Structure 1
Amino acid sequence: MQDITQLLHAAQQGDRAAASQVVAQLYADLQRLARRQVRQAGHLTLLDTTALVHEAWMRLPGAHGASFPDRRHFLAYAAQAMRSVVIDLVRARQAERRGGGLAHVTLDTAVAEQLPQGDADILRVHEALDELAQVEPRLAQVVEMRYFGGLREQEIAEALGVTERTVQRDWQKARLFLSISLGA
């Protein structure tokens, strides 16, 4: 079995067999990322983990200018692609032509309290993260890798080429920025 780094380089050069091997070797990791995304999105996405992995995989070949020198970079980009899939689904549901502006009504208030954040909240977080990326791109990368990708601080530090302490400081700054942006 080839090293994943070699397979990633071959896949970027257009080798379809290498791309298939990358998916086969990293499928469990991609499923883990998708489970996290689906759990966070709750009822807001109709996708299951397998569908989310496949939707994200369909977007990866369009990663113009993206480079995946190793497994961590690839998984970080995959987490970003999965986030994008979920955001696109939320936006599509909110589209006026699909009745996205209609309010959800429930007769059982206990059920409403158990539901995760609404579509508008997810879009607010997405927009705040985009705003953060414009101001401090590395902070946004840390949030995506940690929150959406589930990577540990050490893995993030290696992927970004910084120290673990820098990742910890970036995470604190990003949380502060997002809490102010979201008014929480």
Structure 2
Amino acid sequence: MNDTTTDNDVTAWLHRARAGDAQALDLALREMYAALHGLAQGKLRQNRSERTLSATALVNEAYLKVFGNNAGPVWDDRGHMLGVAARAMREVLIDAARRRKAAKRPQEADRLQLTEIAASVGNDTDPAALSDCLDELERLDPRQAQIVTLRFFVGLSAEDIGATLGISPSTVQREWRVARAWLQRELNR
């Protein structure tokens, strides 16, 4: 977000958009696009030599996933909007990893570590297995699944995740440790 825009501004724009104000929706989407682009740049910068997607491509593909049917979701607030975008970014990254894995001879430069979780259980982690584990975690504990998605696929800190979900950073860290251990166990099976 720029220096003068607050979470409350975005939330207010979303409420006005729900009431039919197209300009408010445009303002909210522009602000969130810029914020997500910055987060995607930071996240992809961590794996610079191992990626094939640019931050712009990642955010654009996620945008298409959210708005592909021309009937985008109705958001309650900035946190809800960020969660929807994070889920879409997760799907884009997993789809990209599946495509690379399906290639006959993927080049070393084309490999993308989906997450630290995948790296900790080995580079040969099947993207479909990771996706299935995340879906199962979402069924068992939706908040932990949100924490994993916001942390790895959007790159938010514990403080930012806590603010987005309305919980303390220490709760985010505690639930993150539990979710990470559960995912590692499931992926090692």
TM-score by length of 1: 0.72
C-alpha distance in 1, partners of 2:174/2:70?
29
Structure 2 counterpart of 1:80: 87
Structure 2 counterpart of 1:109: none
Q: Paired residue for 1:6, among 9, 12, 15?
A: 12
How far residue 177 of structure 1 moved from its aligned partner, in angstroms, is 0.3
Unaligned runs of 5+ in 1: 95-99, 107-111
Secondary structure of the corresponding residue to residue 126 of structure 2: helix
Task: Tell me the amino acid that sits aligned with residue 57 of structure 1.
Answer: Y
Q: Which moved more, 1:140-149 or 1:11-20?
A: 11-20
C-alpha distance in 2, partners of 1:170/1:134?
15
Unaligned runs of 5+ in 2: 114-122
**Aligned in 2, Cα 1:114/1:59: closer, same or farther, shift over 3 Å?**
closer
Q: Paired residue for 1:163, among 164, 168, 172?
A: 168
Cα contact 1:41–1:86 (8 A) shared by 2 = no
Structure whose CA Rg is larger: 1
Aligned residues: 173
Cα contact 2:39–2:156 (8 A) shared by 1 = no
TM-score by length of 2: 0.70
Taking only aligned residues, the RMSD between alpha carbons, in angstroms, comes to 3.5
Structure 2 counterpart of 1:70: 77
Equivalent residues in 2 for 1:172-183 (5 A)? 172-183=177-188
